[in-house]
Amino acid sequence: METNISTIYDRVRTDFETSPFFNLLGFELRSITEDEVILELPIERKLLNTHGSLHGGVYATMIDNIISLKMRSMIGSPVITINLTINYIAPITSGKVIAKAFVYGEGKRTKMGEGVVMDENGKLLAKGSGTFKVIKSKEQ
């Protein structure tokens, strides 16, 4: 496993910035530090549901990915989602949304975490939790 935290952060940031999916949606990785990973998304018309608010799938995608990014920044290995549960709390129609994650559970093969999506003022819009499998490389 990688031990140089700067190298881990650089690799996570590079993978994020070159992801076609993240670029398609418009995700922005605002911060990656030991204490936090912050993901932002400006709300665009293409991300709205038929009611004119941010689509629930966008909330779920943000939560899934912010938890994964936080885990990867901590352990230096990729993770894949085993289970994800989302609670939708409030709609939003404009501005931007911000996601943060919290990781708990120190299993070697599985990790658990929670993610939140908030508006620019810190109002909670969605909260989710998930279980993730750690993918080890051949060198690990």
- Could you say which residues of the chain have pLDDT below 70? 1-3, 137-140
Structure tokens at 2: 């990688």
Whole-prediction pTM value?
Answer: 0.89
Q: What is the pLDDT of residue 3?
A: 57
Nearest 5°: the CA angle 84, 85, 90 is 130
Q: What is the pLDDT of residue 75?
A: 86
User: What CA–CA distances, in Å, run from 90 to 7, 43, 124?
Assistant: 37, 15, 7
Q: Looking up tokens 């490389």, which residue turns up?
A: 137
d(C-alpha 123, C-alpha 34), whole Å:
24
Q: Which residues contact 120 (CB under 8 A, 6 or more apart)?
A: 95, 96, 98
Q: Give the homologous superfamily in CATH for domain 5-134.
A: Hotdog Thioesterase (3.10.129.10)
Q: What are the boundaries of each domain within the chain?
A: 5-134
Q: What is the pLDDT of residue 139?
A: 53
